[in-house]
Amino acid sequence: MIKTRFGLWDGAVCALILLLALGLALGVGAAARSEGAVVTVSADGALALQKPLEGTEGRFPIDGEYPLTVCISGGKVWVEDSHCPGGDCQAQRPISRPGQSIVCLPGRITVAIRGGDGAADLIVG
């Protein structure tokens, strides 16, 4: 049986691969925060609210069978208050990238981030 050792060059190659992977992960995350993204809120399939993600600050009440309040601040969107049973939409984390959404099933309300410059075709994680 041949015994091999982990040498200095092996460690350098592993470190280089880890640094490249980290740089790629950070680059994809930064590219996913595309400029020009728009927050859309649909209630019962009809557009209830449309605001730019960047530069918008405030709370926006959305009427419906189960009214809720959507907050936009610091490039993030979340449901602050909801009157639906279970409150799952309120428990979801804030969203900040195109393609992400928050859904209130009982209220039939969808909060989504759309558009942007198209820098990322796919966001994983």
What pLDDT shows up at residue 55? Answer: 86
Q: For residue 58, what are the CA distances in angstroms to 8, 13, 15, 103?
A: 55, 49, 44, 20
Domain with residue 85: its CATH number is 2.60.320.10
Tokens encoding 55: 């530069």
* pLDDT, position 41: 93
* 94 domain residue, yes or no: yes
In a domain, 41, yes or no: yes
H or E element: which one contains 59? strand 58-62
Structural domain count, the chain:
1
Structural domain boundaries, residue 55: 37-115
Q: State the 10-residue block means of pLDDT for the chain, 125 residues long.
A: 76 87 73 73 91 90 89 92 88 91 91 74 58
20 SS3 class? helix
Sign of the Cα torsion 105, 108, 111, 117 reads: positive
Is the torsion defined by CA of 73, 74, 75, 79 positive or negative? negative
| Domain-located, residue 67 | yes
Does a structural domain hold residue 25? no
Burial bucket for residue 121 (CB in 10 Å: 0-12, 13-18, 19+): exposed
- 3-state helix, strand and coil shares in percent for the chain, rounded to the nearest 5: 25, 35, 40
